A and B are shown apart, each in its own frame.
Chain A
Amino acid sequence: MKQIVVISGKGGTGKTSLVASLAALAGTSVLADCDVDAADLYLVVQPSLVERYEFIGGKRAVIDHDACTACDLCRSLCRYNAITGGGEDLSVDPIACEGCGVCAWFCPERAIDMVDAVEGEWYVSDTRLGPMVHARLNPAGENSGKLVSLLRAEARSIAEIRRIDTILVDGSPGIGCPVIASITGADLILVATEPTLSGLHDLERVIGLTTHFGIPAMVVVNKYDINEANTRRIEELATKLGTGVAGRIRFDPAVTAAQVAGVPLVEHSSDGAASDMVEVWKRVRWTLSAGGFVT
């Protein structure tokens, strides 16, 4: 079983479009949309829902005003400025509360309860391309990293039970908690980037992350024809840093057209960017089976 995770560093470089097309080319795979803040993959793979679960991210403090004597100790102990007001107005801001439990532990009247915080939902669905795990984090939700870990564990279980060889993970932008949770234990990371100075800058940090975790990575330059000089710089940088190059995808209005049609690009067209994605998939498959990089 191989897990391929697509991340980007910089946002908007085409991760989700790429994952959808790779899934269409891969035969049956387990899809995991781990961009839980802004989960878009479902828009192009048309899942039908099978199971739905609540996601409990952590705990939140709640003050019981019947027991509270307004001594203010909780407010003085809270490191996150999550307790505001005074007297009967003393209250916990659920968005600022980190769920550390210190206020509840030390309250002399035992007037604070730590309650489970429902931060979103997660789903197991069926798609034409294989089973899919995805989620919706509530607005201003927290613990996205934990939700990502949960989705990945589910994806693995499903792959084991149904004997599916490939897991494709749609990651999120950045290098923080949810991205780290997306990449640990992956067999190959695909970094989707764009030929801009921003893309180049962010790529270097992302490769720093993949190297830090010791996971092999390959770079895909999306909309490469916007700036071919930068495309070459990116490919040279990737090679210098020990990262493979999986290919280049040209700018193509068909990408948006496929999104509007609600299908993966490679099902919508066969030339242009779609043909570039087919080449990327070939290289990825070769790399996974050969255990080496194509340079």
Chain B
Amino acid sequence: MRIGIASGKGGTGKTTVATNLARVAAMEHLSVVYLDCDVEEPNGQIFLRPEVKWRRPVTLPVPRVDLEVCDLCGECGEICEFSAIVPIGKKVLVFPQLCHSCGGCRLVCPLQAITEIPREVATLMGGEVGGVEYLQGLLNIGEAMSPPVIRALKAVAPQAELVIVDAPPGTSCPVVEAVRGCDRVLLVTEPTPFGLHDLELAMDTIGKLGIGCEVVINRAGANGEATRELCRNRGIEIAAELPDRRSIAEAYSRGEMAVDTDPDFCDRFLALLRRIEGWS
């Protein structure tokens, strides 16, 4: 079972849900893989504290032009949709950060003057803790594109009884890349107007991908009714509600796992795990 943990709004508790779920699943002796696909700001390791076993760079191919062979015909600049290769004056400029690695320039060059060289954009890391196999991608600061790094991370992820994909916030291409291939998605929300608004956007996104989803209401308090009504109207079930407790917020701020500090939370996560197991 591969589940994605996503939201529309940031800060609703994806990492809280993903890490605590991983912990209880490992406690129940399931084989668990945790994939931190929030490659811009991964936080899973703060809570799980894995022992790091390996690191490896992620590279993307970018063009290199052999100016001895090149006759400045300009075809590479014509095919490039991203202004990443620009024949101008007596040179061919390459802007690697704009390159989408489509390979078009290399294919189109009539003199085969273009080769592709690897450019490092991120680092993948893997480790293990308490029966959870932990993998993370970390985008280099200043790099713009997450999806290729998320793809690279997913490509090295092993199989397990439960694979938990901790997705980035939002509703656009990084989230799509992260949750593609998941059996189900848990959308984590908070019962505020912003949370509700963004939950609806997230439901639209996951729906467009054709993946079934359920909702986890985090910091559920007195204001949960609007969220429950939205779920009813959309025919989407609520998988769990996590209460709003200052003690949990304080524990989170210290990097502590909720299931370690709060027995009620632990019970709720066990119930969530049972529910997830019932999906397959």
Contact = CB atoms under 8 A, between A and B. Distances in A.
B108 interface: yes
Contact of A58 (B81, B144, B207, B249): B81
Contacts of A40: 9, 193-194, 197-198
A98 B103 contact: no
Contacts of A175: 40-41, 139, 141
B99 to A, nearest CB: 10
Contact of A102 (B38, B79, B254): B79
B142 A209 contact: yes
A202 B107 contact: no
A259 B146 contact: no
Given A37-B172, A196-B252, A77 B79 contact: no
A176 B10 contact: no
A259 B254 contact: no
B115 interface: no
A11 B10 contact: yes
B19 to A, nearest CB: 11
A106 interface: yes
Interface string A79-113: 10000000000000001001111100110000000
Contacts of A205: 40-41, 141
Chain A interface mostly: loop
Contact of A230 (B43, B101, B192, B253): B253
A12 B103 contact: no
Interface in A139-171: 139-142, 144-145
B81 A198 contact: no
Given A197-B253, A208-B141, A102 B103 contact: yes
For chain B, what secondary structure do more than half of its interface residues adopt (helix, strand, loop), or is it mixed? loop
B173 interface: yes
Contacts of A98: 100, 102
A43 interface: yes
A176 B141 contact: no
Contacts of B207: 139
B9 A137 contact: no
Interface string B134-158: 0000010111111000000000000
Interface stretch (B124-132, B163-171, B272-280): B163-171
B107 A260 contact: no
3 smallest beta-carbon distances between A and B, as pairs: A12-B11, A11-B10, A100-B102
29 contacts: A10-B10, A10-B43, A12-B12, A12-B169, A16-B194, A36-B172, A38-B197, A38-B201, A43-B197, A95-B208, A100-B81, A100-B104, A140-B172, A140-B209, A144-B172, A172-B10, A173-B40, A174-B168, A175-B40, A176-B143, A196-B253, A198-B255, A201-B43, A205-B40, A208-B141, A208-B142, A230-B254, A256-B192, A259-B194
